[in-house]
Structure 1
Amino acid sequence: MLKVLFLCTGNSCRSQMAEGWARHLKSDDIQAYSAGIASHGLNANAVAVMSEVGVDISSQHSKHVDELADVEFHYVITVCDSAAESCPTFLGNAKVIHKGFDDPPRLAREAATEEGAIEYYRRVRDEIRDYVHTLPDALEGN
Structure 2
Amino acid sequence: MAKIYFLCTGNSCRSQMAEGFARQLLPADWEVASAGVEVHGVNPLAVQVMAEVGIDIRQQTSKLIDPEYLAQCAVVVTLCGDARDRCPVTPPTVTRLHWPLPDPAQAPGSPAEKLPVFRQVRDQIQAQIVALAKMLK
The two structures have a TM-score, normalised by structure 2, of: 0.89
Q: How does 1:54-93 map to 2 (within 5 A)?
A: 54-66=54-66, 69-70=68-69, 72-91=72-91, 93=93
* Whole-Å separation in 2 of the counterparts to 1:70 and 1:84: 16
* Whole-Å separation in 1 of the counterparts to 2:134 and 2:47: 27
**Deviation of the 1:2 alpha carbon:** 2.9
Residue ranges of structure 1 left out of the alignment (5+ in a row): none
CA contact (8 A) 1:6 1:79 kept: yes
Please tell me whether residue 135 in structure 1 is matched to residue 132 in structure 2. Answer: yes
Please tell me whether residue 2 in structure 1 is matched to residue 6 in structure 2. Answer: no
* Whole-Å separation in 1 of the counterparts to 2:92 and 2:124: 30
Which amino acid in the other structure matches residue 127 of structure 2?
D
Q: Which has the higher contact order (CA 8 A, sep 6+)?
A: 2
- The 1:23/1:89 distance shift into structure 2, 3 A limit, reads same
Which amino acid in the other structure matches residue 69 of structure 1?
E
* Whole-Å separation in 2 of the counterparts to 1:40 and 1:92: 29
Tell me the matched-pair count.
Answer: 136
- The 1:131/1:6 distance shift into structure 2, 3 A limit, reads same
**After TM superposition, which residue ranges in structure 1, 4 or more long, deviate above 6 angstroms?**
none
Which amino acid in the other structure matches residue 13 of structure 2?
C
* Whole-Å separation in 2 of the counterparts to 1:138 and 1:116: 35
CA contact (8 A) 2:22 2:32 kept: yes
Deviations 1:29-82 (A, max 9, x none): 53211000111111111001101110000111011003x524610011000111
* Two-structure CA RMSD over aligned residues (Å): 2.0
**Deviation of the 1:118 alpha carbon:** 0.6
* Whole-Å separation in 1 of the counterparts to 2:28 and 2:128: 17
**Deviation of the 1:92 alpha carbon:** 6.6
Residue ranges of structure 2 left out of the alignment (5+ in a row): none
Q: How does 1:92-103 map to 2 (within 5 A)?
A: 93-103=93-103
